[in-house]
Chains A and B, each alone.
Chain A
Amino acid sequence: SQQGEEDPQALSIQEGENATMNCSYKTSINNLQWYRQNSGRGLVHLILIRSNEREKHSGRLRVTLDTSKKSSSLLITASRAADTASYFCATATIQGAQKLVFGQGTRLTINP
């Protein structure tokens, strides 16, 4: 069964604006990860946040995690055309920690 669900499914913004994507999940997790996929390519890991963390930063990326609401958000600040891609959240449950379950992804388009 699908664990993570991203929202929105698609997002289109102007270059320079901030992009926010959300992820909700159903069961208790060990950690939550965000990945990026350029069209027709493999996925690239962006950031991992553990269940005991609430916020994490990496460059222009900011991830939050609210375990009480079973949700996470990915914020990309000062977006660039090169940020155009699909973004996926993936959860590692405590029971199945050796595998990640991915959501359906958010398709982000940055308009120049």
Chain B
Amino acid sequence: SQTIHQWPATLVQPVGSPLSLECTVEGTSNPNLYWYRQAAGRGLQLLFYSVGIGQISSEVPQNLSASRPQDRQFILSSKKLLLSDSGFYLCAWSAWPRFSGNTIYFGEGSWLTVV
């Protein structure tokens, strides 16, 4: 069965410090990978998605970047965090679509507080 791991679960970082959130998927190959952000009590905002190694699509211009160095690894980074980067970050995957609109499976999320 497929599983998705996301870490760290919680982190508190000072303004201006770097960020690295990591996500890995097991039990599948060539997944679509996603990073979403959720502000407190709000909906999900799609930040990045990737359909293959080294391929990143950015949905919202921001202080963050994403990379996919391996097929099942997705990393969210920042060189210098801003207060507004605080939030709940969710990694997710979906199967490589033989048809469009596959179900998305989420990790447990990472709580980021920038202080």
Instruction: Spell out A's residues near B (CB within 8 Å).
Output: 2, 30-31, 33, 40-45, 48, 50, 88, 90, 92, 94, 97-105, 107
The answer to whether B43 touches A98 (Cβ under 8 A) is: no
Instruction: Spell out B's residues near A (CB within 8 Å).
Output: 32, 34, 36, 41-44, 46, 49, 51, 59, 88, 90, 92, 94, 97, 100-101, 103-109, 111
The answer to whether B108 touches A41 (Cβ under 8 A) is: yes
Q: How many A-B residue pairs have CB under 8 A?
A: 65
Contact of A48 among B41, B101, B108, B111 (CB under 8 A): B101
The answer to whether A45 touches B105 (Cβ under 8 A) is: yes
Contact of B49 among A42, A45, A99, A104 (CB under 8 A): A99
- Rounded to whole angstroms, the CA-CA distance of A48 and B73 in the bound complex is 26
- Rounded to whole angstroms, the CA-CA distance of A101 and B59 in the bound complex is 11
